[in-house]
Structure 1
Amino acid sequence: MSRPGIDGECWANSLPTVAARQPFRCRTWVAALRVICDRDNGDLAHSRRLGAARLERVVRREITRAGGQKQSLRIMPNLFAALHDSAGVLTHRRGALERVHLLLEDWAENKRRLLDTETRMVGVLDELELTALVTSIAGLSAVGAAAILAETGDPARFPTARSVVKHAGLAPREKLSGTFCGRTRLTGQGRASIRLAARRAVFAARHCNPVYAARYQHLTSREANRLTSDQAQAAIAAALLRHLHAVIRTRRPWDPHVATHGTTAAPTTISAAA
């Protein structure tokens, strides 16, 4: 997905850097490209004749059609100004717009396939009656949980939660040799795909889950043995794997008090109809 940003640089360079620092992650920018490349067939003169106000209305309709809600009022004026920049897009338009058009088609197809895959993954969770359980972990989406479980397989095959963590290569291990004692590091000998899925899930969960947020803050700010951001993310990823194992094995929703203090609680069991 990095090519669109590269091929779009000939257009991006003709605008102020504040227009869209990551153009192909901006709904307004992409919608405008679709209007110009698909509807106007790259005819910039036609796009200019629409005028700034009418072009904005056309782009707004394209954003709505694609599932967005509103356009960027800051980007559209700069985009319209670029249509008149003789040193930028007008000079490079034939090659640039052709590449952008092809990339937009590939991008749309990849997004469609990704959405279809995620829908089927969540459908499997629903069939197994696991969706309510795994999403009881605050900040963990059904798609994120499905991605992890697709790599780990049935958690019931692991006797303990630590077994899952070791399988992922997220278990810390001391480096010992005779009288030498090195720094404790992750083994890194497990399945890299599980670590990747868990780390990706943590990016969202850490900001939405108060337990994970507090843990991250503690690990990165404590005086003794302070961890880097990457190390703290790995520690939370390991905790997430343990919590997933627990809720699925016990068929009970995630309890933040148990996750924080290890106390015995009596959470309600999620029924099959949940």
Structure 2
Amino acid sequence: MRLAGLGSHAQKEDVMNKASQISRGDKSRNARLGRLRQLVPTTSAIVGIDLADAKQMVVVCDHDSRVLARKTFRVRAWDLGVALDWAAAKAARAGFAGVTVACEPTGHRWRILSQLAEQRDMAFVCVQPLISAWARRGEDLTTDKTDEKDAVVIARLTAQLRCYVPEVVDETWGRLRHLGTRRERLLTELTAHVQQMRDLLECVWPTSLEAANYPFRSRTWMATMQVILERDGADFARTKRLGLARLEKLVRKEVLRWGAEKPTLRITRNLFAALDDEAGVLTHRPGALERVGFVLDDFFHARRRRVDVEERMTAVLEELGVKDLAGSIPGLSSIAVAAILAETGDPRRFTSARALVKHAGLAPRERSSGTFVGRTKVTGQGRPGLRLAAWRGVWATVQHNPVHAARYEHLTHREHNRLKPTQAQAAVAAALLRQLHAVIVTGRPWDAEVATHGMRRRAQQVAA
């Protein structure tokens, strides 16, 4: 094919891609390898570092994995600057123009190493520990694992461009990540408190759980239990002597602490009536109810801390300027957006929306060979926290977002290849991540028409 008449290199490359039938995946992979080659040029040596607490193994290798220098530094991660200076001197002596630093992203130490490399204008990449484990087995078909071997494996994988560029986090995005981690821990703590209270009450006072449809979501139920367990010390006789009218008066005051303006007195009356019920293990009732009182107090304080963290996360969204954009998606609350972005970081760092979906482990995994076509599932790789945050966001959008509701209905009721509810929710979660990526990257609010039919149809409508 003659390419002399084409004006630019981009035009020539486009024609060559069409002629050779390069797929979109091939183009994406070629672009990623090109970006990595800029960080791992053949003119630079590779410094593989196996990070630990007080012992750091450093090797300097060429691109054929030949070790040029090796040394053990018994220092902490923040003192590795001397190791980088030593590696740079060894690389220069071997005739290399610079070095590329590589390590596994273990704990927090890789962040310190990244900062030290940046201060010295050294390129920095990371190697996934899972890939290192597979490569270690392929090294000599044994399960040997030493710091010396690991450092060489890291350098070899980097030379093969089987590495990635870690996220560059600024102060604001970094704060959102830490707040998201804090919120997730509080949610786990709250769930544990609810399970413990449920188990105890089912054992000694099961009727109390029937006082409300969803007792642990009811602030009136919580406030009434707080009065019974804290003021009266779970002495039902004392609560009976108090009387229903005075109990309701105390609950009206207590429910304000739980964030409600007024109580649902029907629930309070049901709990008061349940005081006469003797179902459950009565011998354990005093001690178990005392424990419930302790757990209920812990639940109250953990819930208040969670609300505080969520308010801080919402404020960070406003600081980043993405709250209104992300909030344009019907059914997706600000805190749901904050929880997702706390796991993804800045969505602009992903080259495409599909890359973000793959990062969450929600991309479909194809299994086919020859005439065999296997069952397609999601990969399940990536960040489990991001997958969970997207999954939680789906529950509200399926109910309040007409586009997502229609998609879920179609996937679960179509005649051919009908999906189970959980499979359809995973598909909607992936669509939610793609749309969130689009509104933040483009800076345009969510559009139901584009979300349903895509940009190509919108462009055709505008042209018409």
Q: TM-score, normalised by structure 2?
A: 0.54
1:105 to 274, 289, 297: 297
> Partner amino acid for 1:107?
F
Q: How does 1:65-214 map to 2 (within 5 A)?
A: 65-86=257-278, 92-214=284-406
Cα deviation for residue 192 of structure 1 reads 1.6
Matched, 1:236 2:236: no
2:215 to 13, 18, 23: 23
Gaps of 5+ in 1: 266-274
Structure 1 counterpart SS, 2:259? coil
| Identity %, equivalent residues | 59
In the other structure, the counterpart of 2:97 is: none
Structure 2 counterpart SS, 1:8? helix
In the other structure, the counterpart of 1:270 is: none
Q: Residues of 1 paired with 2:362 and 2:279: CA distance?
A: 52
The answer to whether the 8 Å contact 1:168/1:194 transfers is yes
Cα deviation for residue 90 of structure 1 reads 6.7
The answer to whether the 8 Å contact 1:199/1:237 transfers is yes
2:458 to 264, 267, 271: 264
Q: Residues of 2 paired with 1:105 and 1:76: CA distance?
A: 19
1:253 to 445, 448, 452: 445
Cα deviation for residue 68 of structure 1 reads 1.9
Gaps of 5+ in 2: 1-190, 460-464
Q: Residues of 1 paired with 2:407 and 2:368: CA distance?
A: 28
Structure 1 counterpart SS, 2:351? coil
Q: TM-score, normalised by structure 1?
A: 0.88
In the other structure, the counterpart of 1:48 is: 240
1:13 to 181, 186, 206: 206
Greater RCO, CA 8 A, separation 6+: 1
Q: Deviations over 1:159-186 (max 9, x none)?
A: 1111111111111132112321112221
Cα deviation for residue 71 of structure 1 reads 3.6
The answer to whether the 8 Å contact 2:255/2:261 transfers is yes
Q: Deviations over 1:66-89 (max 9, x none)?
A: 222444454333321232345658
> Partner amino acid for 1:37?
L
The answer to whether the 8 Å contact 1:84/1:90 transfers is no
RMSD: 2.1
Q: Residues of 1 paired with 2:434 and 2:349: CA distance?
A: 14
Cα deviation for residue 238 of structure 1 reads 0.5
Q: Residues of 2 paired with 1:109 and 1:13: CA distance?
A: 25
Which has a greater percent of strand?
Answer: 2
Cα deviation for residue 257 of structure 1 reads 1.0
**Larger radius of gyration between Structure 1 and Structure 2:** 2
Q: Residues of 1 paired with 2:302 and 2:420: CA distance?
A: 34
